[in-house]
Amino acid sequence: MIPYLSEIKIGLGVLLLGGTFWFGYHVGSEHGAVQVAHMQAQAAQYSAKLADETAQAYRVTVDNTQANAITLADSQRGHAAADAVARSYYQSLQTQAQDDARKNTHVSGCALDADGLRIWRAANAAISDQHRAVDLAPAVQSAGGAGADAGQWWHR
Query: Domain residues of the chain, as ranges?
Result: 70-107, 108-156
SS3 33: helix
How does pLDDT run along the chain (156 residues), one tens digit per residue?
A: 566 777 778 888 888 888 888 888 887 778 778 888 889 999 999 999 999 999 999 999 999 999 999 888 888 887 888 888 888 998 988 888 888 877 776 665 666 677 777 787 777 766 554 454 555 555 545 544 444 444 554 544
d(CA 37, CA 49): 18
SS3 127: coil
